[in-house]
């Protein structure tokens, strides 16, 4: 087997990461951006990705993983094609986010932190999306959905095949 | 000095410190976790909260973290104010929420900083009744046991391992209440100083696996102040015993030497003391091949008769034996028949080091002082593997220039997080020229790999750059640029330090290092010069004799000597096997005194069981010329005793025959005025506090009347120690003994190793009464000319390959390599060469290569190292097959014929 095809960091990605750290005095400054880049391409950051990135940035896997595990939006476990981040902080709670969350759990058949068996959705609670005036709110991939009601959910999910 | 008011009582404290340090230094009890005297302040744990008042009229004040507040004159704080006390108790309660209730089964129990602090804070009852978060533990190798559930997130471990020791394979993972300290994946912790986590961790997350195997609580251990025997630096250690076996080694703080940290070889390499290979009783081999045990008295009588009958007895001493043992041997054999048990090559090197230390006029710093230099040039040494603790000090010194930036911003020395933010991992001027890439290279600004001769030439050229009067050597382009860079950096520094050593067996390299140091001194620099030496008492031995092993052999070959006494020495590790075989064939009666069975012992007619550092007392001299005393830990229940005590039985001199250690030292210093300071290394056997001896055991020691009850219900009389003011029991003075006599650190309320705070004049500073050890050599005036013995440029020879020694912290040292936990870390013997040489010789990695060294054929697996410039190869030093090689050796080299 060609080991090259098994690599997670492609030459293009490595070039992009190099471009990132050129703006900084030290390579490790690009760590977070590089992790985001990996996630953009692979949805999550695997152990292998951590090791490959360590080589590119002259860091140890331990250093990379310290950063990767610190941030809640860097995923160190596989996630679905679409990640639902539903806000569970105080404004959304007052506005009844729990009903939305319960509906999502029941419809998708998963609990928080789980992925649907078909690999379509991962459901994660998040603390504040910065849109308290339009609570309850959730984030799917890069789209913000606000003023949520249970009735809207089916139609919203339709948009994410 | 500044005056601060703690709870309205004025105290004189040092400027420039933080308030926590000041409070502890004046003897106050104030709780803390994340702060450490060597790692300084980050203000993470919030445990040292005190109330700070604006002035005497301020009655409210505000809560501050003492570790983050600088000492200021007239500052007013309160430790005892109810709000401050409540804050600390609540803080510890929250830190302890997830901490298990497992003190009775925890290895840290009874010497746990967390226990001490919890009791001190007044948080006596735990109220949290819910489920605790739990973690999986990791396998971290043979040294450390991991128990993450006990963690209180003080971050000390990462701050030591990653920031201080600059290890890379450890980290802190995740966030909020799920923080995890460990490795990216389970595996051996690679850093050579990982064992310090045992003492750095305030609780039982990292504990000593070697102790765990035969666990004993701190209060049940018999301890003695000792000196690590595993390299030439002489770190101070506490060695502890129970039931006749050595259980663990801890760091013993010495503000001049090792400070708070030792290396893993020193900490975990002690188990040879408990080895199956220990010689327990006197043995006789006659006729050859037939061994019989002898009673102690019989052995002494028989050997005495042999000595009387012998034409001439010669004594072969050892760099791993104490001054006292070597001295008694000298007295037995006579000064003219006493030989250092090392090769001519090695003895000349160390003589040269001594000569330079005495006469170059350049100061040789203590380990602690090493950390004050601001530019370092390491010449030829793989420091991490030849003198490990020095590498940790050099790492700190390398940070001094980058730290200047923080100073300019008026950031205090103790403000660790702020300083690191300023320097951003910037490297200071540390330069390393060595035959291969070393474990210290990651801290270096620039490195250069070359053959030892080329390194010597390079160093000569650096000296010439600094002072044109010093001899110059022509260099290849790359080396030339490196030499200039190094010279410029050294000249630009305030306190440049030159580090070299004996490990490459090159006298010109030692001379070149002296040239650089002397040139810098001449240029007005406060230069330092450190040489590493191979063994614990290499320096002491060579201060006692000029005669070396080959001359001893000559005595036998010429028929003048017919009896040989070898002390704590395996001659097969000193000279090639064929030479040693030849020697033993002709040596007549051979008496070997040693602790471990080895090849030399096999040739003996009599073998006497000598004590290791754990069963002996004595003095050793480290690479800096510092005489340090180590004390017997316990009295073994067999015939093992200090070598010098055995030898007393054979010495005719009356003053020595029945002498105790003090009397031996007295005689020693009369014979060697230069060793006068040895007397001052520790108080003599007559010393008492009032009328009391210093107990080796804590006052809580248990089981004394029971531990031998299965043999006899009457408790035997405890052994006596005529050689020191230490007693073998828990009876005696409870308090702070003189620093060289401190068998353990304990103070009321302070059961953990951090009780050392109470033994220091100020926390992190000198021990009360002065740090132990006496320097015997001081650089006085300069009477040395520049050396001119520049070696010829190195030319590879494909028929006679140059073999350069490679060193390994685990493996290169004779005795520690016999310790089981270390053996897992010792690499198999190998041959390393450059990719180009491997290609030219058609050698693949892992393939067997055939070497021929002084008539012996050796097959070794090939390792390809891209850091090698080529033209020479590496073979590890100190393995049984290579221990007797006189490096640098030459050999033919080819792939093994199948």
pLDDT at B898 over 70: no
Per the annotation, does A127 bind a ligand? no
Q: What is the CATH number of the domain that holds A90?
A: 3.40.30.10
For chain A, the residue count is 161
Asked if the Cβ–Cβ distance from B184 to A62 is below 8 Å, we say yes
Rounded Cα–Cα distance for residues B799 and B577 (Å): 23
The confidence score (pLDDT) of residue B277 equals 94
Question: Are A86 and A128 contained in the same domain?
Answer: yes
- Of residues A15 and B896, more confidence is placed in A15
Asked if the Cβ–Cβ distance from B169 to A25 is below 8 Å, we say no
Question: Are A95 and A137 contained in the same domain?
Answer: yes
Query: Is A125 an interface residue toward B (CB < 8 Å)?
Result: no
pLDDT at A3 over 70: no
Question: Are A88 and A57 contained in the same domain?
Answer: no
ipTM here: 0.90
Question: Are A117 and A56 contained in the same domain?
Answer: no
Query: Domain end: A48, A70, A92, which one?
Result: A70
Question: Are A133 and A89 contained in the same domain?
Answer: yes
Q: Which residue has the tokens 């001899």?
A: B471
pLDDT at A2 over 70: no
The mean of the pLDDT values for chain B is 95
Give A154 to chain B, closest Cα distance, Å.
34
Which residue in A25, A62, A72 is closest to B171 by CB distance? A62
Assign A5 a pLDDT band (cuts: 50, 70, 90): low
Assign B560 a pLDDT band (cuts: 50, 70, 90): very high
Per the annotation, does A87 bind a ligand? yes
Q: What is the CATH number of the domain that holds A50?
A: 1.10.10
Q: Which residue, B539, B379, B390, is CA-closest to B459?
A: B379
Question: Are A61 and A86 contained in the same domain?
Answer: no
Query: Domain end: A70, A103, A120, which one?
Result: A70
Question: Are A86 and A154 contained in the same domain?
Answer: yes
Which residue in A60, A69, A72 is closest to B173 by CB distance? A69
Contact (Cβ atoms closer than 8 angstroms) between residue B336 and residue B318: no
The predicted model gives B648-652 an average pLDDT of 92
DSSP per-residue string spanning B784-834: PPPP--PPPPP---SSSEEEEEE--TTTSSTTGGGSHHHHTTPPPP-EEE-
Determine which of A27, A29, A60 to mutate to test the interface with B (most B C-beta atoms within 10 Å).
A60
Query: Is A48 an interface residue toward B (CB < 8 Å)?
Result: no
Look up the domain containing A22 and give its range: 11-70
pLDDT at B781 over 90: no
Query: Domain end: B62, B79, B95, which one?
Result: B95
Query: Domain end: A47, A70, A93, which one?
Result: A70
Q: Which residue has the tokens 């060595």?
A: B434
Give B768 to chain A, closest Cα distance, Å.
41
The predicted model gives B198-206 an average pLDDT of 98
Residue of A nearest to B184 (CA): A62
- Of residues B155 and B176, more confidence is placed in B155
Q: Which residues of B touch A61 (CB under 8 A)?
A: 184-185
Per the annotation, does A92 bind a ligand? yes
Q: Which residue, B445, B388, B447, is CA-closest to B265?
A: B388
Residue B414 is assigned to a structural domain of this protein: yes
The predicted model gives B20-28 an average pLDDT of 96
Q: What is the CATH number of the domain that holds B530?
A: 3.40.228.10
Query: Domain end: B95, B116, B147, which one?
Result: B95
**Token reading at B50:** 């005190």
Question: Are A142 and A105 contained in the same domain?
Answer: yes
Out of A31-35, B674-678, B851-855, least confident range: B851-855
Per the annotation, does A31 bind a ligand? no
Radius of gyration of chain B (CA): 28
Q: Which residue has the tokens 């410039």?
A: B869
- Tally of domains in chain A: 2
pLDDT at A80 over 70: yes
Assign B319 a pLDDT band (cuts: 50, 70, 90): very high
Q: Which residues of B touch A113 (CB under 8 A)?
A: none
The predicted model gives B518-546 an average pLDDT of 97
Query: Domain end: B60, B95, B130, which one?
Result: B95
Residue A6 is assigned to a structural domain of this protein: no
pLDDT at B233 over 90: yes
The confidence score (pLDDT) of residue B424 equals 87
Residue B793 is assigned to a structural domain of this protein: no
Q: What is the CATH number of the domain that holds B873?
A: 2.40.40.20
Asked if the Cβ–Cβ distance from B172 to A66 is below 8 Å, we say yes
The confidence score (pLDDT) of residue B544 equals 97
Determine which of A28, A52, A62, A74 to mutate to test the interface with B (most B C-beta atoms within 10 Å).
A62
pTM over cut 0.90: yes
pLDDT at B394 over 70: yes
- Tally of domains in chain B: 3
Q: What is the CATH number of the domain that holds B39?
A: 3.10.20.740
Q: Which residue has the tokens 């006085």?
A: B780
Q: Could you read off the pLDDT of B251-302 as tens digits, one per residue?
A: 999 999 999 999 999 999 999 999 999 999 999 998 889 999 999 999 999 9
Look up the domain containing B31 and give its range: 2-95
């Amino acid at each position: 087997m060609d080991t090259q095809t098994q690599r997670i960091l492609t030459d293009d990605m490595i070039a992009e990461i190099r471009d990132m750290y050129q703006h900084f005095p030290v390579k490790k400054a690009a760590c977070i951006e590089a992790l985001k880049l990996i996630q953009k391409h692979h949805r999550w950051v695997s152990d292998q990705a951590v090791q490959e990135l360590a080589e590119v940035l002259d860091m140890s896997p331990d250093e990379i993983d310290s950063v990767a595990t610190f941030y809640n939006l860097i995923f160190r476990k596989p996630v679905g094609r679409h990640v639902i981040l539903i806000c569970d902080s105080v404004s959304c709670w007052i506005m009844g986010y729990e009903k939305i969350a319960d509906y999502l759990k029941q419809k998708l058949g998963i609990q928080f932190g789980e992925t649907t068996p078909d690999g379509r959705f991962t459901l994660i609670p998040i603390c504040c999306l910065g849109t308290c005036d339009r609570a309850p709110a959730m984030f799917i991939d890069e789209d913000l959905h606000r003023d949520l009601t249970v009735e809207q959910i089916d139609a919203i999910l339709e948009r994410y095949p | 000095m500044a005056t601060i008011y703690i709870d309205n009582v004025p105290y004189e404290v040092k400027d420039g410190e933080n308030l926590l340090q000041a409070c502890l230094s004046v003897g106050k009890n104030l709780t803390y976790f994340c702060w450490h005297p060597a790692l300084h302040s980050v203000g993470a744990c919030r445990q040292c909260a005190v109330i700070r008042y604006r002035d005497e009229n301020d009655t409210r004040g505000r809560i501050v973290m003492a570790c983050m507040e600088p000492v200021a004159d007239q500052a007013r704080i309160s430790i005892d104010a109810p709000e401050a006390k409540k804050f600390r108790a609540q803080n510890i309660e929250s830190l302890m929420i997830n901490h298990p209730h497992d003190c009775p089964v925890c290895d840290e129990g009874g010497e746990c900083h967390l226990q001490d602090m919890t009791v001190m804070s007044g948080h006596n009852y735990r109220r949290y009744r819910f489920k605790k978060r739990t973690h999986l533990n990791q396998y971290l190798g043979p040294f450390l046991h991991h128990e993450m559930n006990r963690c209180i997130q003080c971050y000390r471990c990462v701050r030591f391992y990653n920031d201080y020791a600059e290890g890379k394979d450890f980290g802190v993972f995740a966030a909020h209440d799920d923080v995890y300290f460990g490795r990216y994946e389970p595996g051996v912790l690679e850093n050579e100083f990982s064992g310090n986590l045992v003492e750095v961790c305030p609780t039982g997350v990292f504990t000593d696996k070697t102790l765990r195997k035969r666990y004993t609580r701190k209060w049940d251990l018999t301890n003695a102040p000792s000196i690590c025997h595993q390299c030439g630096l002489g770190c101070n250690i506490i060695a502890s015993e129970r039931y006749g076996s050595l259980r663990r080694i801890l760091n013993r703080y010495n503000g001049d030497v090792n400070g708070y940290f030792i290396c893993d070889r020193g900490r975990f390499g002690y188990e040879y003391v408990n080895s199956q290979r220990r010689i327990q009783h006197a043995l006789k081999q006659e006729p050859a091949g037939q061994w019989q045990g002898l009673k102690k008295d019989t052995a002494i009588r028989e050997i005495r008769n042999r000595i009387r009958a012998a034409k001439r007895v010669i004594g072969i001493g050892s760099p791993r034996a104490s001054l006292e043992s070597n001295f008694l041997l000298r007295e037995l054999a006579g000064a003219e028949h006493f030989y250092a048990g090392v090769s001519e090559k090695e003895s000349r090197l160390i003589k040269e080091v001594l000569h330079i230390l005495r006469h170059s006029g350049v100061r040789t710093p203590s380990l602690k002082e090493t950390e004050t230099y601001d530019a370092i040039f390491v010449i030829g040494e793989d420091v991490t593997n030849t003198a490990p603790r020095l590498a940790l000090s050099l790492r700190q010194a390398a940070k001094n220039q980058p730290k200047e930036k923080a100073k300019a911003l008026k950031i205090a020395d103790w403000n660790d997080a702020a300083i690191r933010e300023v320097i951003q991992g910037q490297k200071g001027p540390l330069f390393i020229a060595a035959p291969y890439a070393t474990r210290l290279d990651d801290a270096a600004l620039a490195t250069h790999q070359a053959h030892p001769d080329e390194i010597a030439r390079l160093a000569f050229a650096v000296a010439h750059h600094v002072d044109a009067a010093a001899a110059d050597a022509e260099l290849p382009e790359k080396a030339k640029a490196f030499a200039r860079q190094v010279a410029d950096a050294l000249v630009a520094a305030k306190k440049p330090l030159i580090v070299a050593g004996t490990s490459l067996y090159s006298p010109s390299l030692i001379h070149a290092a002296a040239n650089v140091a002397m040139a810098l001194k001449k240029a007005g620099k406060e230069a330092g010069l450190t040489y590493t030496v191979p063994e614990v008492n290499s320096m002491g031995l060579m201060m006692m004799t000029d005669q070396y092993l080959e001359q001893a052999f000559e005595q036998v070959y010429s028929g003048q000597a017919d009896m040989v006494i070898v002390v704590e020495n395996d001659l097969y590790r000193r000279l090639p096997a064929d030479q040693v075989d030849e020697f033993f064939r002709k040596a007549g009666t051979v008496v070997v005194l040693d602790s471990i069975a080895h090849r030399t012992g096999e040739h003996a007619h009599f073998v006497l069981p000598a004590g290791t550092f754990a069963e002996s007392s004595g003095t050793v001299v480290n690479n800096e010329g510092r005489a340090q005393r180590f004390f017997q830990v316990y009295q073994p229940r067999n015939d093992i005793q200090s070598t010098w005590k055995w030898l007393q039985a054979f010495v005719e001199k009356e003053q020595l025959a029945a002498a105790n250690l003090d009397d031996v030292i007295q005689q020693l210093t009369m014979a060697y005025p230069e060793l006068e300071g040895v007397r001052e290394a520790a108080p003599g056997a007559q010393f008492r506090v009032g009328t009391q001896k210093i107990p080796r055991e804590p006052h809580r020691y248990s089981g004394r009347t029971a531990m031998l009850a299965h043999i006899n219900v009457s408790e035997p009389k405890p052994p006596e120690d005529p050689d020191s003011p230490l007693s073998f029991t828990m009876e005696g003075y409870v308090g702070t003994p003189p620093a060289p006599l401190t068998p353990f650190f304990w103070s009321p309320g302070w059961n953990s190793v951090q009780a050392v705070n109470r033994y220091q004049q100020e926390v992190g500073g000198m021990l009360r009464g002065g740090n132990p050890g006496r320097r015997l050599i001081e650089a006085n005036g300069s009477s040395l000319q520049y050396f001119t013995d520049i070696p010829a440029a190195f030319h590879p020879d494909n028929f006679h390959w140059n073999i350069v020694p490679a060193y390994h912290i685990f493996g290169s040292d004779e005795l520690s390599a016999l310790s089981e936990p270390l053996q897992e870390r010792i690499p198999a013997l190998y041959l390393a060469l450059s990719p180009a040489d491997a290609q030219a010789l058609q050698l693949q990695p892992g393939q067997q290569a055939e070497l021929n060294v002084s008539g012996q054929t050796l097959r070794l697996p090939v390792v390809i190292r891209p850091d090698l410039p080529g033209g020479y190869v590496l073979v590890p030093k100190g393995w049984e097959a290579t221990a007797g090689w006189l490096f640098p050796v030459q050999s033919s080299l080819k792939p093994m014929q199948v």
